[in-house]
Amino acid sequence: MSEEHHAALITGVAKPLQVGSVPTIQPMQGEVLIRNYAIAVQPLDAKMLLGSYSGAGSLHSFPAVFGSSGAGVVEKLGAGVTSLAFGDRVVFDTRAYTKADANRREGTWQQLVICDAATVAKIGEIAFEQAVLIDFPLQTAVAALHLFLGMGKPGNAGVEEKVLVWGSGGAVGSYAVQYAKSVGYTVVVTASVRDADRQKGLGASDVIDYKAADAVERLRELGPYKYLFTGSGDPVSQKALSSLLQPEGGKFASVLGGDMELPTNIERVYRPFSQAAQSEENGDFRAWWYGEYLPNVLQNNLVDPVKFTKRGGGLAALQQASADVFEGKVRGKIIINPQE
Q: Which residues bind ligand NAP (CB under 6 A)?
A: 42-44, 137, 140, 167, 169-173, 191-192, 195, 210, 231-234, 237, 255-256, 272-274, 331
Query: Minimum distance from CB of 223 to ligand NAP (Å)?
Result: 18
84 and 32 Cβ atoms separated by less than 8 Å: yes
Helices 235-244 and 215-222 pack at an angle, to 10 degrees, of 40
Q: Which residue is nearest to ligand NAP (CB)?
A: 170
Nearer to ligand NAP, 111 or 168 (CB): 168
Query: Minimum distance from CB of 122 to ligand NAP (Å)?
Result: 23
Nearer to ligand NAP, 137 or 295 (CB): 137
Residues 6+ apart with CB under 8 A from 54: none
Q: What is the DSSP letter of 259?
A: -
135 and 30 Cβ atoms separated by less than 8 Å: no
Query: Minimum distance from CB of 306 to ligand NAP (Å)?
Result: 6
Buried b (16+ CB within 10 A) or exposed e, 208-220: bbbeeeebbeebe
Nearer to ligand NAP, 172 or 335 (CB): 172
Nearer to ligand NAP, 129 or 195 (CB): 195
Nearer to ligand NAP, 117 or 143 (CB): 143
CA torsion through residues 310, 69, 37, 2, sign: positive
Give me the sheet containing 266-269, strands edge to edge. Answer: 204-209, 186-191, 162-166, 227-230, 250-254, 266-269
Residues 6+ apart with CB under 8 A from 331: 307
Nearer to ligand NAP, 42 or 319 (CB): 42
Query: Minimum distance from CB of 193 to ligand NAP (Å)?
Result: 9
Nearer to ligand NAP, 102 or 193 (CB): 193
CA atoms within 13 A on the CB side of 213: 0
User: Residue 9 and residue 7: Cα distance in Å, rounded?
Assistant: 6
Query: Minimum distance from CB of 46 to ligand NAP (Å)?
Result: 8
R_g over Cα of the chain: 20
Query: Minimum distance from CB of 333 to ligand NAP (Å)?
Result: 7
Query: Minimum distance from CB of 48 to ligand NAP (Å)?
Result: 10
